[in-house]
Structure 1
Amino acid sequence: MEHNRSSQLFQQAKRSIPGGVNSPVRAFRSVGADPLFIKRASNSHIYDADGNCFIDFVGSWGPMIVGHCHPQVIQAIKQALENGSSFGAPTELETTLAEMVISAVPSIEMVRMVSSGTEATMSAIRLARGYTGRDKIIKFSGCYHGHADSLLVKAGSGAATFGVPDSPGVPADVAKHTLTAEYNSLNSVRTLIAENSGQIACIIVEPVAGNMGTVPPREGFLEGLRDICTNEGIILIFDEVMSGFRVAYGGAQEVYGITPDMTTLGKIIGGGLPVGAFGGKREIMEKLSPSGGVYQAGTLSGNPLAMSAGIATLNLLKQPGFYQSLEEKSRKVAEGIAAAAKKAGYPIYSTRVGSMFCAFFSASEVHDWTSAAACDTAAFAKYFMAMLNEGIYLAPSQYETAFVSAAHSDSDIDLTIAAAEKSFKLIA
């Protein structure tokens, strides 16, 4: 499979764009290749600049749950565009989508629209700090919540240490307010709280971790976080930018029956257009400007094109049997890839929650960042390239989630499993 045009475009892009890409993982560095430049997409397929066709399990990193270019979503965007692309003023569309989100997500009584997941998490943390009057936050190693300064922090010498900056440009004075715990470890959380009693504003967590591969919460983990936050007066924030409307219509909090104080959303609620949102209890959200003193603003927040695409997408998700069908497709492809690995005698650890799944190149179970980081990333890179050559487009990193859409057909899934069988034989 030739990628000459993509390679040429990448060389051209590197002259004007840092690293040739506008988001780092797109550069394909962890798989040792040049990125594909995508020309168009339709349903479950994407087409690169060389004319190659791929079955797509990235789905623009999650939003394309109904598939690419769904006619109802496209029609909604076109209709909105004919009335104007942006006003910087209120529209009825914003209220419509807000009401849909509130009715779907258990924790959300009021919601503020923004333009990205990073903006949503950054704003939610600011609001939690303003509401509680506390400065410190707890996040989990391996959970990504966007690139705001306070969130670009990794664990230090152990789980119960102050964070250190994980990127140049993040002041140590900012990083010191971020404490890093181990995902799926309540003891690591309790230790941090004991050492910083009365100082923690919020705990932010992906209820289903999707940024170190797909890592489900262990039984009791989310329940434990809820109890700890209730007892300590800490705001519990579920980052459902990825899992929201993905693992269920009401997100992971519907699946696991745990209601946080606040939730961040993105991806699916914009139908593929730039969007984010954060919401929660009314008493917290009313502290937000202009009704309260915690400031947040955005010129393109509630953009009519994004609102229209989101409304159309959520209406499709509400159709009877949508999630049952998606669950079956996802189960079939994830189990098929795992069976292909086993058949080839190659050790992987397979995880899945709804239509999020991952094949970890590890003979051991993966429950947190430490176990995820032990994966054989060199083997994954070989697998990724083998699958790409078979026409299967996966995320170019071991530490990303694969997404199934309603547009994936039985034929797509069969072809993917067959490609996995060939690929595992090559690397076994």
Structure 2
Amino acid sequence: MTDRNDILFQRAQKTTPGGVNSPVRAFRSVGGTPRFITRAEGPYFWDAEDRRYIDYIGSWGPAIVGHTHPVVVKAVQDAAARGLSFGAPTEGEIEMAEEICRLVPSIEQVRLVSSGTEATMSALRLARGATGRDKIVKFEGCYHGHADSLLVKAGSGLLTFGNPTSAGVPEDFTKHTLVLDYNNTQQLEDAFKAMGHEIACVIVEPVAGNMNLIKPTQEFLQTMRRLCTEHGSVLIFDEVMCGFRVGLGGAQALYGIQADITALGKVIGGGLPVAAFGGRADLMKHMAPLGGVYQAGTLSGNPVAVAAGLSTLKLIQQPGFYENLTAQTSKLVQGLSAAAKAAGVTFCADSQGGMFGLYFADSVPGSYGAVMQSDKEKFNRFFHLMLDAGVYLAPSAFEAGFVSAQHDDAVIEATLVAARGAFAQLA
């Protein structure tokens, strides 16, 4: 009998490039056929063959309270009954903005958008508009959406500008983007010494999740904060992924460093398309209709999406929420590490809040170059062994994983049982 996932994938490829609407879903990195999901609940989802999986992507972060949480579903249903979209202001948008500003102290004003790419793209435009400068600094391995000036890889030398990593992006669009190594403070110092008066902003994932989970050093974040302040550059924290994932106030609260502009997404939409960028009021005043930096969106602040996000933000503020989320994620990574060690497999894992990283390497990496040295083929085998055992991990060796509040001890233990079997086969 033919697997219905195969049937759907073949059908999808006829009308959609690669059969998917976001590249990592195609399983090209790990091989095999992607699973087409039909429903989800709590820490699980089910594919087109009605096979159940323990879900460790959580819609790539948003499902922090678990899938189809009744409070979130009720909020969405109530909002949808009142109307799906108005193209005019709503009170819910005000409530969302007030909540974000209260929870992230560096944000004094915020603009809602519909995607993380929109948020980071707009944050860059704002930084350039406010400073009157063109050059931006980003870090190799950090992904900030698919805006042209951000699809860049490192140049051939320390202070050379980046080269496009996507067809269709002219070199002129990336000639102002300087790409440095994550966690390399000396490169930051050198870049600002050479051209600090030209740098509009530094944009960074303060806890990286798009080259697997990579934590920053305190010195790294402190150095960029100091240099941006000294040179009048804007510090942008891209917390689309780590915001409200690693802790209630995001990475800024964990590391005690305030950004000038912050991009948010994923969790603040609770599974629906909501993102935001915000920061100091003196910067945000440059946004239209007050200033000359233009940004607009037909579905920005969509009432149904805002309802999902607001209800999620309320749930994550319950007492003990992050303590439990962090503890469960720690149990997972410690259990996986112990299982690998017992099987004699070279492996390590790390976590921060509700995010985790798996590395088939001797030690936890601290940069893009280091993570690229991990054993990708062994990860691919592990991925499929776990998938066959009913555990759905990110289908790439270079993506972080996510735990929800519904991943209780029984779910974690079921995962570790599957992992022990997988590591035994790898050994």
Whether 1:226 aligns to 2:225 is yes
Match of 1:306 in 2: 305
Deviation at 1:32, TM superposition (A): 1.0
After TM superposition, the structure 1 = structure 2 runs for residues 390-405 of structure 1, keeping only pairs within 5 Å, are 390-405=389-404
**Deviation digits for residues 38-79 of structure 1 (CA, Å, limit 9, x no counterpart):** 000000000000110000000000000000000000000000
| Structure 2 contact 140–154 (Cα < 8 Å) conserved | yes
**Deviation digits for residues 212-263 of structure 1 (CA, Å, limit 9, x no counterpart):** 0000012311111111111111100000001111111110100111001010
Match of 1:125 in 2: 124
After TM superposition, the structure 1 = structure 2 runs for residues 19-38 of structure 1, keeping only pairs within 5 Å, are 19-38=18-37
Match of 1:45 in 2: 44
The SS at the match of 2:396 is: coil
Distance 2:83 2:126 in 1: 32
Deviation at 1:362, TM superposition (A): 1.1
- After alignment, is 15-24 or 359-368 more displaced? 359-368
**Deviation digits for residues 140-190 of structure 1 (CA, Å, limit 9, x no counterpart):** 000000000000001122443210011111111111011101000011122
After TM superposition, the structure 1 = structure 2 runs for residues 20-419 of structure 1, keeping only pairs within 5 Å, are 20-419=19-418
| Structure 2 contact 84–302 (Cα < 8 Å) conserved | yes
| Structure 2 contact 106–260 (Cα < 8 Å) conserved | yes
Runs of 4+ in structure 1 deviating by more than 6 angstroms, as ranges, are none
Distance 1:313 1:365 in 2: 31
Deviation at 1:277, TM superposition (A): 0.2
What is the one-letter code of the residue matched to 2:411?
Answer: D
Distance 1:250 1:144 in 2: 21
The percentage of counterpart residues that share the same residue type is 55
| Structure 2 contact 107–279 (Cα < 8 Å) conserved | yes
Deviation at 1:197, TM superposition (A): 3.4
The SS at the match of 2:62 is: coil
Gaps of 5+ in 1: none
The SS at the match of 2:350 is: strand
| Structure 1 contact 145–239 (Cα < 8 Å) conserved | yes
The SS at the match of 2:196 is: coil
| Structure 1 contact 159–182 (Cα < 8 Å) conserved | no
Deviation at 1:333, TM superposition (A): 0.7
| Structure 2 contact 79–304 (Cα < 8 Å) conserved | yes
Distance 1:3 1:65 in 2: 34
Distance 1:230 1:347 in 2: 42
CA RMSD of superposed structures (Å): 1.0
The SS at the match of 1:264 is: strand
Deviation at 1:191, TM superposition (A): 2.1
Distance 2:132 2:412 in 1: 51
The SS at the match of 2:369 is: helix
Distance 1:326 1:57 in 2: 13
| Structure 1 contact 120–264 (Cα < 8 Å) conserved | yes
Distance 2:147 2:186 in 1: 27
Deviation at 1:139, TM superposition (A): 0.4
| Structure 2 contact 192–227 (Cα < 8 Å) conserved | no
Aligned length: 427
Distance 1:125 1:314 in 2: 26
| Structure 1 contact 110–282 (Cα < 8 Å) conserved | yes
- After alignment, is 309-318 or 150-159 more displaced? 150-159
The SS at the match of 2:4 is: helix
**Deviation digits for residues 354-408 of structure 1 (CA, Å, limit 9, x no counterpart):** 1111111112441000001111111100000000011100000011011010011
Deviation at 1:28, TM superposition (A): 0.4
Distance 1:363 1:185 in 2: 21
Gaps of 5+ in 2: none
The SS at the match of 2:39 is: strand
| Structure 2 contact 44–55 (Cα < 8 Å) conserved | yes
| Structure 1 contact 216–351 (Cα < 8 Å) conserved | no
Match of 1:15 in 2: 14
Distance 1:120 1:75 in 2: 27
Distance 2:357 2:88 in 1: 41
Distance 2:58 2:159 in 1: 36
Distance 1:259 1:104 in 2: 13
Distance 1:195 1:18 in 2: 43
What is the one-letter code of the residue matched to 1:294?
Answer: V
Match of 1:420 in 2: 419
Distance 1:80 1:357 in 2: 33
Deviation at 1:410, TM superposition (A): 1.0
Q: TM-score of the superposition, structure 1-length normalised?
A: 0.98
Q: TM-score of the superposition, structure 2-length normalised?
A: 0.99
| Structure 2 contact 66–406 (Cα < 8 Å) conserved | yes
| Structure 2 contact 218–255 (Cα < 8 Å) conserved | no
Distance 1:3 1:256 in 2: 51
The SS at the match of 1:46 is: strand
Deviation at 1:3, TM superposition (A): 7.7
Deviation at 1:193, TM superposition (A): 2.2
Distance 2:424 2:158 in 1: 38
Deviation at 1:84, TM superposition (A): 0.4
| Structure 1 contact 165–172 (Cα < 8 Å) conserved | yes
Distance 1:277 1:306 in 2: 12
The SS at the match of 2:197 is: coil
What is the one-letter code of the residue matched to 2:31?
Answer: G
Distance 1:125 1:244 in 2: 18
